[in-house]
Amino acid sequence: MRRDDAAERRQANRAVAVSAAGLAATGLVELLVAVLTGSVGLLGDAIHNLSDVSTSAVVFFGFRVSRRGPTARYPYGLDRAEDLAGIGIAVVIWASAVFAGYESIRKLVAHGPTAHVGIGICAAVLGIAGNLAVARYKLVVGRRIRSATLVADARHSWLDALSSAGALAGLLAVAAGQPWGDPVAGMAVTVFICHVGYDVTTDVIRRLADGVDPGIISAAEAAAGAVPGVIHAHARARWTGRVLRVDVEAWVDPGTTAREADALGRQAAEATAGQLPDLGSFTWTTRAAPD
C-alpha cells in the first residue's frame, strides 16, 4: 500500500533548495555586518544561519537517498535515510550551541566593544524576518508531505529567528549604554539553541527507535478488530522516513480458509487506511483462535 510520493519529494527538494538560498543570503549579510560591528551575538547568529545551509544539504541528501526502491540488501528501501538525516540536523544545532556559548563568554570576559550599532540592529531585524519566512515555508511543506525531517529543519529555522531576536536585544542594550548586553544576549541565545536541540534530538531518537504515537496502535487495532470475522487484532507500527508501516496479527475462526483470511485482510487494510491517512504499508497475518 505504498503511496506514490514523487510529487511530495519534489516539494521537499524545492523547499530545501529555496530555504538554503534564503538562509545563505541572510547569513552572509549578517556575517559582514558582524565583522563591521564586532557584535558577538550577531556573529553567532550569522554562523548559525550559514550552518543551516549545510544542514539543508544533509536534508537534501536524505531525500535523494530515500528515493531508491527496495533491493535484495535493503528490502524495505532506504526511507530511513530521511530519519538519519535528522541526526545531522541535531549535530549542527549542538555545534551551534557550543560556538555561541564560547563566543559569548569570551567577549563578556574580555569586555569587547561593539561599533556601528544601528547597522547591526538592521541586520538583526533582517535575520528575524528571513528566518521566520523560511521556517514557515518549511513547516507548511513538511506537514503537508508528513516529513519529520523537514519539520525538524523548520524548527531549526525558527530557532534561528529567536537567535536573531536575541542578537537584536543585545544590540538594543548596547545602544542604551549597556555594553554587556551583546555577550549576555549571546548566552541567552545559547540556552534557546540547547532547548531546541534537545527537542529535535529526542524526536530523531524516537523515530530511529521505532517509537510511535500510541493512538496509531489503538486506531489500527480498532479498525482491524471491527471487521466481521476477526475475533481479536494486535497491531504494531513504525515510521521509516515518511512511510507509516502497520503490521496486524489477527485471530480468526479455526475454520477460516486462506481465501477468506485474505479477504479479511483486504477489508482490514481498507478500514485501517480510513482511520490512518498516513498509512503507507500494511502487513496482515492471521492465526486460528483457540477453541
Q: What pLDDT, on a 0 to 100 scale, did the predictor assign at position 123? A: 92
Structural contact between residues 65 and 168, judged by C-beta atoms closer than 8 angstroms? no
Burial call 11-39: b when 16+ CB within 10 Å, e when fewer: bbeebbebbbebbeebbebbbebbeebbb
Cα–Cα nearest to 148, from 215, 242, 10: 242
Distance of alpha carbon 231 from alpha carbon 288, whole angstroms: 10
| Domain regions of the chain by residue span | 6-208, 214-288
Q: Three-class SS of residue 230?
A: strand
Contacts 24+ apart (CB under 8 A), 61-68: 61/85, 62/86, 62/88, 62/149, 63/9, 63/12, 63/13, 63/16, 63/149, 64/13, 66/9, 66/241, 67/9
Same fold, 6-208 and 214-288: no
pLDDT recorded at residue 1? 44
In terms of C-beta density within 10 A (0-12 exposed, 13-18 middle, 19 or more buried), how is residue 249 classed? Answer: middle
State residue 243's pLDDT score.
Answer: 82
* 214-288, CATH topology level: Alpha-Beta Plaits (3.30.70)
So what's the pLDDT on residue 134?
A: 86
Cα–Cα dist 197/191, whole Å: 10
pLDDT of residue 56: 67
What is the model's pLDDT at position 232? Answer: 94
pLDDT at 128: 92
Main-chain phi, psi angles of 211, to 5 degrees = -80, 140
Closest CA to 89 of 182, 155, 18: 155
Retrieve residue 270's grid coordinates. Answer: 481498507
Averages of pLDDT over runs of 10 residues in the chain (291 residues) are 61 79 88 88 80 70 76 83 80 84 87 89 92 88 78 76 85 92 84 80 87 94 95 93 89 93 95 90 92 67
Asked whether the beta carbons of 47 and 167 are under 8 A apart, the reply is: no
Short-list 92, 58, 65, CA closest to 80: 65
Locate 247 and state its grid cell.
503490521
Count each helix (H run) and each strand (E run) in the chain, helices first.
8, 3
C-alpha cell at 140: 507548511
Residue 259 parent element (H or E): helix 258-275
| CATH fold of the domain at 6-208 | Alpha-lytic protease prodomain-like (1.20.1510)
Asked whether the beta carbons of 235 and 246 are under 8 A apart, the reply is yes
